[in-house]
Amino acid sequence: MTTTRRTSVRLTQFAHGGGCACKIPPGELEDVLGALSAPLPAAAGTPLLVGLATGDDAAVIALPTRGDTPAQAVVSTADFFTPVVDDPYDWGRIAAANALSDVYAMGGRPVLAVNLLAWPREVLPFELAREVLRGGLQVATEAGCHVGGGHSVDDPEPKYGMAVTGLADPARLLRNDTGRPGMPLSLTKPLGLGVLNNRHKATGERFEQAVATMTALNRDASAAALAAGATCATDITGFGLLGHLHKLARASRVTAVIDTACVPYLDGAREAVRDGYVSGGTRRNLEWVAPFTDFGTTDADTRVLLADAQTSGGLLVAGEVPGAPVIGELVPGGPHTLVLR
């Protein structure tokens, strides 16, 4: 559904990008981070279970057990971005759901968040900032996650997100390096958020289906994946389906085969691609994965949608998740990490 809603301030016009499409390109980011992993010695007593090595969704450490205390892991992540929609309350909800998603993508549950806010204090009224924070609090409350303050800076460009701490069972994590040949691939939200958000920024059209998708927590999908015995997953955000799946397949030393006819898309997504509402982030995603991908006969618009920079997208799970379409499978590693059929 598409509607047009006039607002006195269009937040998206104060940002050079929008949502997760404003991420630093994955290739450039990997060049920067490549030599920065420095694990603490074992004597530190808190083993790092997941760090920089595989480019997973969050960092995870194991807490030391004492007596009869069950083993627990702490999941830590941070995510923030420029306005993806004009409505400040919706932007807050979307940014919070997106930040919490990294914990769900690891098989954890968020327990504490702090706000990260950058605001052009002499340009935009603080009433709008209050609405952004109210939206973030609403979604965190829905998730059963405390919000305990945060940090703010004066910035020419508005940005909002959260740093989130979660808890998980260290024996039941969802990781991106545990995929094995023969596992099906399930996708829990449709694609197309990036191109619809880009159209919204350009025209002011409001896409209710996109807002509903971005504000939906990945909590139930994570719980369903764990209940089904899954051990491998990632969430689909700024690097697009192809980018995040490439990272998963590379970390797991397998090849991912996508049945392009089975991938779900939001209403209006193909029309947005046809009409040219494609972000630079999406084009950079496609350029990054091209050397690792056998595109087969897949048409150009479908390639764009598969690389579309999502904001608060769904989980991609190596395993079957009730209610989620199976869009492909993992097979033994070959010359490409990604194959489109």
Q: Note the pLDDT tens digit of each residue in 224-279.
A: 999 999 999 999 999 999 999 999 999 999 999 999 999 999 999 999 999 999 99
Once rounded to an integer, what is the mean pLDDT over residues 116-134?
Answer: 95
pTM of the predicted model, to two decimals?
0.90
- Adjacent-strand bridge partners of 184: 329
Percent of the chain with pLDDT over 70: 88
DSSP code, position 84: S
The answer to whether residue 5 scores a pLDDT higher than 70 is no
Q: What is the pLDDT of residue 157?
A: 94
- Total residue length of the chain: 341
3-state secondary structure 215-245: HCCCHHHHHHHHHCCCCEEEECCCCHHHHHH
Q: How many CB atoms lie within 10 A of CB 265?
A: 18
DSSP state of 120: -
Return the pLDDT at 41.
Answer: 58
Q: Which amino acid is residue 263, in one-letter code?
A: V
- Does pLDDT of 37 surpass 60? no
Strand order in the sheet with 293-294: 233-235, 315-318, 184-187, 326-332, 254-258, 338-340, 293-294
pLDDT in the model for residue 174: 96
pLDDT band for 6, please (50, 70, 90 cuts): very low
Task: Decide if pLDDT at 43 tops 60.
Answer: no
| Contact (CB, 8 A) for 12 and 25 | no
Q: Is the pLDDT of residue 9 over 90?
A: no
Average pLDDT, the chain: 90
Least confident of 9-23, 61-75, 173-187, 287-301: 9-23
The pLDDT, as a whole number, for residue 199 is 95
Annotated catalytic sites, by residue?
A: 20
- The pLDDT of residue 164: 98
Question: What single letter denotes the amino acid at residue 293?
Answer: T
Q: Which residues pair with 109 in a beta bridge?
A: 167
Q: Determine the Cα–Cα distance for residues 48 and 43; give it in Å rounded to an integer.
A: 12
Beta-carbon contacts of 221 under 8 Å, excluding residues fewer than 6 positions away, are 104, 188, 314, 315, 317, 321, 324
Q: What is the pLDDT of residue 82?
A: 93
Which residue bears the tokens 């059929």?
Answer: 341
Q: Which of 50-59, 229-238, 254-263, 306-315 has the lowest mean pLDDT?
A: 50-59
CA dist 7 and 4 (Å) reads: 10
The pLDDT assigned to 329 comes to 98
Secondary structure (3-state) at 100: helix
Residues 159-203 pLDDT 10s = 999 999 999 999 999 999 999 999 999 999 999 999 999 999 999
State residue 4's pLDDT score.
42
Please say whether the dihedral angle defined by the alpha carbons of residues 315, 103, 283 and 258, taken in this order, is positive or negative.
negative
pLDDT at 51: 83
Q: Report how far residue 146's alpha carbon sits from residue 2's, in angstroms, rounded to the nearest whole number.
A: 34
- Helix (H) or strand (E) run with residue 199 in it: helix 193-203
Mean pLDDT of 274-287: 94
Question: Where is 162: in which H helix or E strand?
Answer: strand 159-168
